[in-house]
Amino acid sequence: MSLEIKVPEVGESITEVTIASWLKKDGDYVEQDEIIAELESDKATFELPAEAAGVLKIKADEEETVEIGAVICEIDTDAKEGSGSSDSSSDKEEEKKEEGSSASKSESSSSNGPSKTGEMHTMVVPTVGESITEVTISTWLKGNGDYVEMDEIIAEVESDKATFELPAEANGLLEIVAEEGDTIEIGATICKIEVTEGSAPSSDASGSGSDSKEETTSASSSDSDKETYATGHASPAAAKILKEKGIDPSNIKGTGKDGRITKEDAENAEKQAKSQESTKPKESGKETASSAPAPSGERDQRREKMSSLRRTVARRLVSVKNETAMLTTFNEVDMKPIMDIRKKYKEQFKEKYEVGLGFMSFFTKACTMALKEWPAVNAQIDGNEMVFNDFVDMSIAVSSPKGLVVPVIRNAEQLNFNEVESEVIRLAKKARDGKLSIEEMSGGTFTITNGGIFGSMLSTPIINAPQSAILGMHNIVERPVAINGEVEIRPIMYVALSYDHRIIDGKESVSFLYRVKELLEDPTRLLLGV
């Protein structure tokens, strides 16, 4: 029987997802509840488990965007383990035959060399961090067919955060699957090792490829007593420079440890190449005079593929701009009263509640009070109806390594200052660690975003659909203001309210923002509820 696996519902406002990666291949046997794919929405990444055991048949490719409820794959529950496609099994047999024939050459070259066990060990990209989903092969330190020993460093792999070394997981002959420069996902096959027993092969029997490498290395660094895998290889930073400038690393003598090509070596080689170009004779005075002067300085470019999350967020933001009658109103807030309270009570507050007294709790409490008085700002449009909420689920925009996420503080109107601060800290930490769940980012009724922490003076934030309004906080700057007929220097913050004019009128938006200003400039009102 063939069981259809459909895209599950992952949130109220989410109508489609993107297939980030397939963790199992078409024709693979999967167990029930085994994770077979990773899906991305505009809010989070989540895993798709197999609903039954059987042979997988993929219906939607990676990077494809599919709607909720659409068939993403099928599982043949009648098939048994090991009954994958005959093509794949025959391909594997052919691969093993080729591996056997190529390896027999190295066996015959030395009677004292290692003997093959018949086992083929597959190495996959290890997990290097919770938020890292893919890596790039920077450098192979061993060649295809080379003999490698357990724990010997065979490659350098780069993530978006760091470079790390890949050790061999067995003794044997290396078969490279992913080439230098390839970007592969965590858990994908990077190479295979045909496991052998016995001592390492002698230098005479290690193959012509290794002989030629040794000759090249000895010619380039005759003074070195001992050569290692690093000899003649470029570091990740150096390799990037050489690749961009089209310089052959074999023509460079490395000055690093064990003859490694460093970033400085690559930069020097680039300067030499430029100087050689500048000394070339000019063809003719006429052509030189008519040609435009060459721009000075570096003019490098680089391209990066947009992640599925960023593409989805971009599409939704454009959709909001096109489908709502968005307008923004502004005001300014004198932050001195709040700053005086924080200065006076922050130590006692932290000692009692074990959290700091920040600005977010004041703004959250002020907004929840103002939303009760102006309920349209806390409402949303659903078809031809307006949905009014008698509660406030406050969305807080947080910058994370993967992009902007918006976790939700449930029933914010019922929380006191320390409870709001604790929730903000908890959700922000989970966002930066990439551990937010779909439930923690769904169902908000109003959003606060703080661009001031990055230095923004003024902005027009975009509504977080299907909500109808968003409040933007900005940086605090000392400015001259008139107080009781006299000019004083006060810490001033500009605040902005973007709103959907289809449901919120100008009177409501301006009155709401003025009420927030009033509550913030006299925080006693927050305690008395007036």
- Is 131 in the same domain as 40? no
Q: What is the CATH number of the domain that holds 514?
A: 3.30.559.10
pLDDT at residue 301 tops 90: no
pLDDT given for residue 12 in this prediction: 65
Query: What band does 291 get if pLDDT is binned at 50, 70 and 90?
Result: low
Lowest mean pLDDT among 336-345, 428-437, 495-504: 428-437
Query: What band does 352 get if pLDDT is binned at 50, 70 and 90?
Result: very high
pLDDT given for residue 336 in this prediction: 95
- Is 358 in the same domain as 480? yes
- Is 162 in the same domain as 254? no
- Is 68 in the same domain as 184? no
Q: What is the mean pLDDT of residues 503-519?
A: 95
Rounded distance between C-alpha atoms, residue 204 and residue 185, angstroms: 37
pLDDT given for residue 482 in this prediction: 93
- Is 42 in the same domain as 131? no
Rounded distance between C-alpha atoms, residue 420 and residue 410, angstroms: 10
The boundaries of the domain holding residue 237 are 230-267
pLDDT at residue 475 tops 80: yes
pLDDT given for residue 419 in this prediction: 94
pLDDT at residue 513 tops 90: yes
pLDDT given for residue 350 in this prediction: 92
- Is 181 in the same domain as 261? no
Contacts of 246 (CB under 8 A, 6+ apart): none
- Is 199 in the same domain as 239? no
pLDDT given for residue 82 in this prediction: 62
Report residue 471 as tokens: 């409040």
Asked if residue 302 belongs to a domain, the reply is no
Nearest CA-CA partner of 420 in 368, 378, 469, 374:
368
Asked if residue 276 belongs to a domain, the reply is no
Residue with the larger pLDDT of the pair 8 and 99: 8
Asked if residue 106 belongs to a domain, the reply is no
pLDDT given for residue 15 in this prediction: 78
pLDDT at residue 89 tops 80: no
Q: H or E segment at 74?
A: strand 71-76
pLDDT at residue 6 tops 50: yes
SS3 string of 226-276?
A: CCCCCCCCECHHHHHHHHHHCCCHHHCCCCCHHHCECHHHHHHHHHHHHHH
Q: What is the mean pLDDT of the chain?
A: 80
Asked if residue 440 belongs to a domain, the reply is yes
pLDDT given for residue 115 in this prediction: 74
Q: What is the mean pLDDT of residues 450-465?
A: 90
Beta strand pairing call for 2-6 and 35-40: unpaired
- Is 513 in the same domain as 392? yes
Query: What band does 138 get if pLDDT is binned at 50, 70 and 90?
Result: confident
Nearest CA-CA partner of 360 in 406, 410, 417:
417
Asked if residue 335 belongs to a domain, the reply is yes
Query: What band does 527 get if pLDDT is binned at 50, 70 and 90?
Result: confident
The DSSP secondary structure of 311-371, one letter per residue, reads HHHHHHHHHHHHHS-EEEEEEEEE-HHHHHHHHHHHHHHHHHHSS---HHHHHHHHHHHHH
Among all residues, which ones are annotated catalytic? 501, 505
pLDDT at residue 214 tops 70: no
Query: What band does 309 get if pLDDT is binned at 50, 70 and 90?
Result: low
Q: How many domains does the chain have?
A: 4
Query: What band does 107 get if pLDDT is binned at 50, 70 and 90?
Result: very low
pLDDT given for residue 311 in this prediction: 75
pLDDT given for residue 45 in this prediction: 73
Q: Is 157 exposed, middle or buried (0-12, 13-18, 19+ CB in 10 A)?
A: buried
- Is 352 in the same domain as 261? no
Rounded distance between C-alpha atoms, residue 121 and residue 119, angstroms: 6
pTM: 0.50
**Per-residue pLDDT tens digits for 158-175:** 775 566 788 999 899 999
- Is 518 in the same domain as 467? yes
- Is 420 in the same domain as 520? yes
pLDDT at residue 90 tops 60: no
Q: What is the mean pLDDT of residues 450-471?
A: 91
